[in-house]
Amino acid sequence: MSELFEFLPVSKADMESRGWWWYDFLLVTGDAYVDHPSFGPTVIGRVLEAAGYRVAILAQPDWHSAEAFRAMGRPRLGVMIGSGNLDSMVAHYTAAKKRRSEDFYSPGKKAGLRPDHAVIVYANRAREAFPELPIIIGGLEASLRRFAHYDYWDDKVRRSALIDAGADILVYGMGEYASLEIARRLKKKEPVSALTDIRGTAVAVADPAACAFESLRLPSYEAVCRSGEEYALATKLEYAEHDPVRGRALIQEHEKRFLIVNPPAMPLPTAELDRVAELPYTRQYHPMYEPLGGVPAIEEVKFSVIHNRGCFGGCNFCSLAFHQGRMISSRSHESVIREVTALTKLPDFKGYINDVGGPSANFRHPSCQKQLKCGMCAERRCLAPTPCPNLDADHSDYLALLRKLRAIPGVKKVFVRSGIRYDYMLEDKNGDFFSELVKYHISGQLKVAPEHCIDSVLDYMGKPHIGVYEKFMDKYRRLNDKYSKEQYIVPYLMSSHPGSTLQDAVALAEYLNKTGRQPEQVQDFYPTPGTVSTCMYYTGIDPMTMQPVYVAKNFHDKAMQRALLQWKRPDKRKLVIEALKEAGREDLIGFGPGCLVRPDRGGRPSGKGPKTEGEGKKPRRAKEPEKAPKPVKKAGWARARPRKNARPGGKKRG
């Protein structure tokens, strides 16, 4: 495939080799240039190219001056800018605000090749290079920062990225429709100041009357800076109106200017989604990175297929609902089959399709028929805390697709590694998909995200209650036994999410200990821009109910919650003991089967009385009995180490 298609030009020499003496758009990205449909900037570049525009890629430019932006000459129509597949601050920093040492979206995993707040910095350099040229920002970073928003790393409310970047237009969401419409009208020589009526975009104007849609006023930037209640109200309205069918434009005053965020663009229909997915991607990183060690991010997706968009799961800590939206769109079987068939022709294909997924792999159609006419419910979630009575839980179409892919010559295995919504799967009265998932589509372990065991915490997360997970696990074990499979579950857990107290973290540790599970994959809550959970973290208010919520903000408090979920690690022992004492649970410090840690050497938990004779002495080693055969491992919460090359910003947790 890479031998048949050309990369987009990345230099003036590339353009000259094509006979280009001018071009239309400079597309700037904070990632290395990987020509694959999993990389957003590449998709926009290919969409514009297919519409007849000349596009050049400027990947990870030196941002310290405007020279790199001028290197390919002035584009005719504009500069389009994104930070890459991740928010640049998430790419650079851990949840503890420590600088990451590696960047899997950069050649050789080298860190530091993009600036912090990359969209803003790149836009400023582009404006310096081309003062009169339209500047359009987009991608995940711009999308999630389109309103006034709390920035975890600065620990303050920042203005809309559009305002700080000094750009002309912000594109949010997946961006194909808006990007093409902007290009079409700029080509017609419409002034960029007139492009205020495009769905899926935001603009800044002097007069709010310029809004072309029915609109609603949000609390101003100044108001959300002053008041947590106003910030929470703004978040509630932003989510309620984020719907392409019934959503209104939102206006937010920013220091005497008015930010207008137009309603979302409609999801691409199947035929258009097919067309975008089958554009002439080389599915490789650019050869200029070969001497630098390549771009590791390609390894996750090179032999994977995205078959859907959108997620009606609605987890509060996840950015998907605010970026891709809750409405599902999916590709046709024929399109996915063509892509997989093409993958089998690649010289390094070994017979394995690593994933047929998306935001949530097992969503192929709208959650109910009502939304097609009325949009998604503003006050009701499809799955949590309990499934909506109107939910259409049907996996027949997805199952039919997987069966067809398994039958393609050259394909040995087809795996599903994206997030599976187990609560949605359990609602399907036909168990064929669950059975075939276990029988054919798991590569040793399945990743799911129970996140916690305390129902009140799960409510704040927007997740199903723990009983649903236990029901799923029971069925998973039975199916593995039925098919004589030795397959495991890798559970994702989250510590210190808003609403989780120290006592809740202790209860989760007890639950894990009683069930014989010691997970190694634990994520401390990370307040990323634009999410409902980040609003809770900043304001201490649940924006959906406007009620107070407990938040662990102190780094030490967060560290104690995390340590409790990894209580067997020697390096966490002191923190675990401190946390148990602070929670009043010194009964869990001792030698009994229900205890999490042993007491400090030479000391005893309070209330235990004096030592008895012989207590504390090392027992004499008894003669070892003859070893029995090892029992067959059953499917469960396996202690699976994360992959060596695991990276931030992989598949979203559903």
What is the distance of C-alpha 557 from the center of its chain? Answer: 25
**pLDDT tens figures, 43-85:** 999 999 999 999 999 999 999 999 999 999 999 999 999 999 9
Answer yes or no: is pLDDT of 637 > 80. Answer: no
Q: Determine which of 161-170, 432-441, 498-507, 605-614 has the lowest per-residue pLDDT on average.
A: 605-614
Q: In what helix (H) or strand (E) does residue 556 lie, and over which residues does it extend?
A: helix 555-564
Look up residue 589 and give its DSSP letter.
B
Q: In what helix (H) or strand (E) does residue 284 lie, and over which residues does it extend?
A: strand 284-285
Q: What is the mean pLDDT of residues 393-407?
A: 97
Q: What is the mean pLDDT of residues 481-504?
A: 95
Sorting pLDDT into bands at 50, 70 and 90, what band is 641?
Answer: very low
Give the separation between CA 326 and CA 109, rounded to whole angstroms.
33
**Distant-in-sequence, close-in-space partners of 620: CB < 8 Å, separation ≥ 6:** none
pLDDT at 314: 84
**Distant-in-sequence, close-in-space partners of 303: CB < 8 Å, separation ≥ 6:** 343, 346, 349, 352, 353, 354
Look up residue 102 and give its DSSP letter.
B
The DSSP annotation for 458-471 comes to: HHHHT---HHHHHH
- Percent of the chain surpassing pLDDT 90: 85
Q: How big is the chain, counted in residues? A: 654
Q: What is the mean pLDDT of residues 305-309?
A: 96
Answer yes or no: is pLDDT of 607 > 70. Answer: no
Answer yes or no: is pLDDT of 610 > 70. Answer: no
**pLDDT tens figures, 356-398:** 999 999 999 999 988 888 999 988 889 999 999 999 999 999 9
Q: How many other CB atoms are found less than 10 A from the CB of residue 79?
A: 26
Q: What is the mean pLDDT of residues 444-472?
A: 95
pLDDT at 294: 97
Q: How far is CA 92 from CA 109, 115, 144, in A?
A: 12, 9, 17
> Are 160 and 252 a contacting pair, CB within 8 Å?
yes
**What values do phi and psi take at 491, rounded to 5?**
-90, 135
Strand 355-357 and strand 304-306: pairing?
Answer: parallel
Answer whether CATH 3.40.50.1220 is correct for domain 12-198: no
Tokens 């064929």 belong to residue = 432
Q: How far is CA 535 from CA 16, 157, 498, 528, 551, in A?
A: 49, 11, 9, 10, 11
Strand 284-285 and strand 34-35: pairing?
Answer: antiparallel
**pLDDT tens figures, 314-345:** 899 999 889 999 999 999 999 999 999 999 99
pLDDT at 153: 96
Give the separation between CA 496 and CA 334, rounded to whole angstroms.
44
**pLDDT tens figures, 561-570:** 999 999 999 9
pLDDT at 626: 39
Q: What is the mean pLDDT of residues 461-481?
A: 96
pLDDT at 602: 55
Look up residue 431 and give its DSSP letter.
-
Answer yes or no: is pLDDT of 296 > 70. Answer: yes
**Distant-in-sequence, close-in-space partners of 524: CB < 8 Å, separation ≥ 6:** 95, 96, 494, 495, 496, 558, 561, 562
463-483 in b/e burial notation, b at 16+ Cβ within 10 A? Answer: bbbbebbeebbebbbebbeee
**pLDDT tens figures, 192-238:** 999 999 999 999 999 999 999 999 999 999 999 999 999 999 999 99
Answer yes or no: is pLDDT of 603 > 60. Answer: no
CA-wise closest residue to 21 among 52, 56, 51, 58: 56
The DSSP annotation for 327-361 comes to: S-EE--HHHHHHHHHHHHTSTT--SEE-EEESSST
Residues forming CATH 3.40.50.280 domain(s) in the chain: 12-198
Answer yes or no: is pLDDT of 642 > 80. Answer: no
SS3 assignment for 577-588: HHHHHHCCCHHH
pLDDT at 191: 97
**pLDDT tens figures, 75-126:** 999 999 999 999 999 999 999 999 999 999 999 999 999 999 999 999 999 9
CATH topology of domain 303-443: Transcription Regulator spoIIAA (3.30.750)
Answer yes or no: is pLDDT of 615 > 60. Answer: no
Q: What is the mean pLDDT of residues 176-184?
A: 98
Strand 308-309 and strand 329-330: pairing?
Answer: antiparallel
pLDDT at 372: 83
pLDDT at 639: 33
Strand 78-82 and strand 25-29: pairing?
Answer: parallel
Tokens 């050049």 belong to residue = 56
* Between 624 and 591, the higher pLDDT residue: 591
Answer whether CATH 3.40.50 is correct for domain 447-524+551-602+633-643: no
Q: State the distance between the two ends of the chain, measured CA to CA, in whole angstroms.
A: 32
The average confidence (pLDDT) of the chain is: 91
Q: Determine which of 348-352, 404-408, 646-650 has the lowest per-residue pLDDT on average.
A: 646-650
Residues forming CATH 3.30.750.210 domain(s) in the chain: 303-443
Sorting pLDDT into bands at 50, 70 and 90, what band is 4?
Answer: low
Give the separation between CA 166 and CA 131, rounded to whole angstroms.
11
pTM over 0.85: yes
- Cα 113-119-125 angle, rounded to 5 deg: 80
